[in-house]
Amino acid sequence: MTKILIAGVVVVLVAIAGLFLWQTYLKKPEAAPVTLPEEVKPVQTTDTYASSTLGISITYPKGYTVNEAYAYDQVSPTKLIHGVKFVVPETAFAGTNLSVSDTGVSIEWLPRAKKCTGDIYLPGNVVALSFADGGTAYSVATSSGAAAGNFYEEKVYAIASSSPCTAVRYFLHSSNIGNYATGTAHEFDRAALLSDFDKIRQSLKISR
């Protein structure tokens, strides 16, 4: 009986020793939990304007102000050219000679136009030229002027095949940098601004 008891104790001790050796030297360590990094969302740099009533959608840089009550009155004060305008943000051009009150891009319509050309959107005798970009055929006309130290530049891209006649107008209003005291203002980045305007124009989709 004593031999059986001793044998049982030996078996138990051997089992305990084997378990200790397995846990200490043979058991593979559990892998550390993998923590996946949180998804980094891209910073949104643009907004989209869409109107089912007007039948258009367009993408523009964040910060631009949308003016749906816009109307152009320089061709005729009694026959306004209606549209929607996207005005540049004040913060982006603070300290420059660019006027942020009226500089921007507008989408405009002339429903009664017999021929959709850029010149009908500008006052005076201007000549429209054909221009193609991204598969869209435009009729483009430009105009510029100056008054009391201010400069005005306009470029109209009429979409030749659109009905009613639809156009995209670039309007730049700046002042003479020489009129500022030294160090109080610098020239606005014209190339960067026009690049933004081009992207706005190229994003225009017409669904009517």
Q: What is the pLDDT of residues 13-40, one digit of tens each?
A: 444 555 554 455 554 555 566 665 666 6
pLDDT of residue 23: 57
Q: Kindly report, residue by residue over 45-89, the tens digit of the pLDDT.
A: 999 999 998 999 999 999 999 999 999 999 999 999 999 999 999
Separation between Cα atoms, residue 196 and residue 202, nearest integer Å: 10
Is residue 12 situated within a structural domain?
A: no
Q: What angle do CA 163, 166, 172 make, to 5 degrees?
A: 175
pLDDT of residue 118: 98
Each as own residue / partner, the long-range contacts of residues 194-197 (CB below 8 Å, 24 or more positions apart, any chain) are: 194/170, 196/61, 197/105, 197/170
Q: What angle do CA 59, 62, 67 make, to 5 degrees?
A: 70
Is residue 33 situated within a structural domain?
A: no
Is residue 87 situated within a structural domain?
A: yes
- Do 85 and 173 touch, CB atoms closer than 8 A? no
Provide the residue range defining the domain that includes 197.
46-206
| Mean of pLDDT over the chain | 87
- The confidence band for 10, taking pLDDT boundaries of 50, 70 and 90, is very low
Tokens, residue 52: 């089912």
Separation between Cα atoms, residue 21 and residue 26, nearest integer Å: 7
Is residue 192 situated within a structural domain?
A: yes
Q: Is pLDDT larger for residue 188 or for residue 11?
A: 188
Predicted confidence (pLDDT) at residue 112 exceeds the cutoff of 80:
yes
Closest CA to 107 of 45, 53, 156: 156
pLDDT of residue 44: 81
Is residue 115 situated within a structural domain?
A: yes
Domain count, the chain: 1
Separation between Cα atoms, residue 80 and residue 75, nearest integer Å: 8
What DSSP string describes 77-121? TTS-EEEEEEEPPTGGGTTBSB-TTT-EEEEEEETT-SS--GGGG
Burial grade of 17 (CB within 10 A; 0-12, 13-18, 19 or more) = exposed
Q: What is the CATH number of the domain that holds 170?
A: 2.60.120.1690
Is residue 181 situated within a structural domain?
A: yes
Is residue 21 situated within a structural domain?
A: no
Is residue 78 situated within a structural domain?
A: yes
